[in-house]
Chains A and B, each alone.
Chain A
């Protein structure tokens, strides 16, 4: 190769370098925009809680007149009802009802074996996001309606 040839290769190399740098830059900018992370965990747990407490096919208490939305029938709080109410492969949840003093009245879940094992150590398990929410709620204990709390704990496979 003569001197001109070396300079030509160098020239092409430098230009290619600039082109690659700029191309990568544009690609990263576009990729970042198109793959914007959408965190819907909070929204999902709110909707789940609403579904659980508002729907007759879930936990809502129904008397001779109507379905009382926002009132949990303790008799309905079991694995079967939860599974029929809402099931998603990657999402498991635990529902606990306590009285106004905080004493646990009843608890049920739709967790599979893996979710049950991971839930207590969720923070340390990669790819899982757990969230717990507590709400004031009415519950029916078979005799009368009282005020207490419902805690919904969700384990969600995100990655």
Chain B
């Protein structure tokens, strides 16, 4: 830098160079450590992608209080019976509701309640939880929908099956979680 002959250009390149170096390190520091450019967000498969149907299969295989020939019918069999005789629809609804209440639930955090201003406590309680919904379609038409969907909520953990009815037709049964502002970690926990 400074030698016998002297370097009069020193102040003109040293400080700008150091400033540029510091700015470079700050900029790339943000890229590597704050933005985390090297992080793979989808490296591990998330539970939303498991496409696990075990809950739906368990619900359909569950026995109900409704009997036929002295044998308790399963939910699948009760769906078939209700499709032939509408009088069984109410019983089917209550049996399915009972099981949906037993499925794991998640609670949306307090931050949601903070964000929503002037929300009555009762409404806040409703939107705090995700709801399991079960939809049944026969002949491509809606037969039964059980569970409450929420406005602006998303659907997660969808499970689908086609089951036979006794008259030879098919029923499409779908189970999913309807939740507003659910976090991925909460979904992971109940998947």
Contact = CB atoms under 8 A, between A and B. Distances in A.
- A associates with B: yes
Interface of A: 4, 7, 11, 18, 21-22, 25, 28-29, 32-33, 36, 38-40, 42-43, 46, 50, 53, 70-71, 100, 133-138, 144-147, 149
A147 B54 contact: no
Nearest to B50: A46
B62 interface: yes
Nearest to A25: B25
A18 B21 CA distance: 9
A40 B18 CA distance: 43
List 4 tightest A-B contacts by C-beta distance, closest first.
A33-B38, A147-B62, A29-B32, A42-B188
Given A36-B40, A46-B50, A70-B57, A7 B25 contact: no
Contact of A134 (B28, B45, B54, B104): B104
Nearest to A33: B38
B3 A136 contact: no
Nearest to A134: B104
A11 B1 CA distance: 7
Interface in B174-188: 188
Given A25-B25, A145-B63, A136 B50 contact: no
A29 B38 CA distance: 9
A38 B38 CA distance: 13
6 contacts: A25-B28, A29-B28, A32-B32, A36-B43, A50-B54, A138-B61
Contacts of B89: none
A71 to B, nearest CB: 8
Contacts of A25: 25, 28-29
B66 to A, nearest CB: 15
Interface in B26-66: 28-29, 32-33, 36, 38-40, 43-45, 47, 50, 52, 54-55, 57-59, 61-63
